Amino acid sequence: MKLEHFGYNDNIEILRIQHNLLNFEIGRVISEHKERYIVKTEKGEFDAEITGNLRYTANTREDFPAIGDWVAISEYGDDKVLIHSILPRKTIIKRQAVGKHGEKQIIATNIDFAFIVQAIDRDFNINRVERYLTICNASHVKTIIILNKIDLINDEALTNLISQVQERVKQVPIIAISNKSKKGIEKLKEHIVKGKTYCLLGSSGVGKSSLLNNLLGRQLMKTNTISTSTNKGRHITSHRELIVLEDGGIIIDNPGIREVGIADAVGGLEKTFDKIVELSKNCKFKDCTHTIETGCAVVAAVESKKIDKLFYENYLKMKREQEHFESTVAEKRQKDKNFGKMVKQFKNIKKSNRY
């Protein structure tokens, strides 16, 4: 398989030249688990590790490879490769790591489009759609909303639902499908462009695996990392986090993509809730929180039903989460700084004791 088949293009080649990486082979990271990676190259799929240099110069999670990355590699042993560097990323989808303050997890990189999958049954939740949109907007990933399981409702209910979504979400294609009746699947396929990378976002049970199987036209085995290394065996089969469709689209399906937090989606919030940003220019106070202030144009618009109350409430909720997130990051930085100071003082004491 050629690199182009799993997403390589001229822009990446230019980056490779700019970064003096022509002496290295190129591959794409298709799996990552605790600093062990699987890299797909034109020759096959390889276990990979990063070089010591890459590890020691790394400051944050973003300095380590992630699923979707293009990496410069060299062969190392029989069925292993070493990752020397990561080519600059076009997009990064992040989320706040659960339980760890201020640390962000990278879900995937170099994604062109995200399918935001929602089932139209009782799990349907437009706030969640806005949440995913915000994350994608922050990382400049384009979005397509997929309403799944439309076999469960009649046409009238579907039309209602679509206009409800359209009311809140502007300028994002909405495609209604059923994995069961296969309605809408062909239409969705028309949106999939050769050489572009896609991912599926959505809670468990909305139908992501079923959709993947339908796009693929066959059942995808639900298996984990079973390395079937033969003697020379460079092949790791049964492991699929990067899937190449027949029509040339590439799908990254990462088990880590489930419930997502808001992370540092600053620009994302503003784009998703641009109506509110626009209105806020007319608020009386520059630092208006759009809650209790007099002369708040946003509250006025909610009261006169110019904007949806639920849309407004979701905005406030996500903004609060973001502020909370930012303050925990700031707190952590302060703690790290204090700790750094302490270490420095300790070293100084040691130094002065020497004399």
Site residues, Zn ion (CB under 5 A):
283, 288, 290, 296, 298
- Binding residues (CB under 6 A) for ligand GDP: these are 148-149, 151-152, 178-180, 202, 204-210
Q: How far is the CB of 177 from ligand GDP (least distance, A)?
A: 7
Please state the closest distance from residue 179 (CB atom) to ligand GDP, in A: 3
Tell me which of ligand GDP, Zn ion, none is bound by residue 179, counting a contact when its beta carbon lies within the kind-specific cut-off of 5 to 8 angstroms. Answer: ligand GDP
Closer residue to Zn ion in complex, CB, 291/352: 291
Min dist CB 131 to Zn ion, Å, is 22
Binding partner of 283, given ligand GDP, Zn ion, none, CB within 5-8 angstroms per partner class? Zn ion
Could you tell me the smallest distance in angstroms from the CB atom of residue 282 to Zn ion? 8
Cβ proximity to ligand GDP, 180 vs 332, nearer residue = 180
Out of ligand GDP, Zn ion, none, what residue 328 binds, judged by CB under 5 to 8 A for its kind, is none
DSSP string, 177-213: --TTT-TTHHHHHHTPPTT-EEEEE--TTSSHHHHHH
**27 alpha carbon, distance to own chain's centre:** 20
- Residue 291 CB, shortest distance to ligand GDP, in Å, is 36
* Residue 296 binds: one of ligand GDP, Zn ion, none (C-beta under 5 to 8 A by kind): Zn ion
Query: What long-range pairs does 270-279 form, CB within 8 A, spacing at least 24?
Result: 271/134, 271/137, 271/138, 272/130, 272/133, 272/134, 272/137, 273/130, 273/311, 273/315, 275/307, 275/311, 276/307, 276/311, 276/312, 276/315, 279/307
> Binding partner of residue 322 among Zn ion, ligand GDP, none, CB under 5 to 8 Å per kind?
none
Taking a C-beta distance cutoff of 8 angstroms, is the pair 328, 102 a contact? yes
Q: Scanning the structure block, which residue is given the tokens 């004491």?
A: 349
Q: How far is the CB of 298 from Zn ion (least distance, A)?
A: 4
Measured from the CB atom, the residue of 200 and 283 that comes closer to Zn ion is 283
240 binds, among Zn ion, ligand GDP, none (CB under 5 to 8 A by kind): none
Q: How many residues does the chain have?
A: 355
The CB-side HSE value for 87 (13 A sphere, CA atoms) comes to: 29
Closest listed residue to residue 104, CA positions, set 66, 50, 70, 69: 66
User: Is residue 236 within 8 Å of 288, Cβ to Cβ?
Assistant: no
CB 69 within 8 A of CB 261: no
Contact 313, 276 (CB under 8 A): no
290 binds, among Zn ion, ligand GDP, none (CB under 5 to 8 A by kind): Zn ion
Which is nearer to Zn ion, 2 or 286 (by Cβ)? 286
Closer by beta carbon to ligand GDP, 185 or else 300: 185
Q: Parallel, antiparallel, or unpaired: how do β-strands 104-109 and 92-96 relate?
A: antiparallel
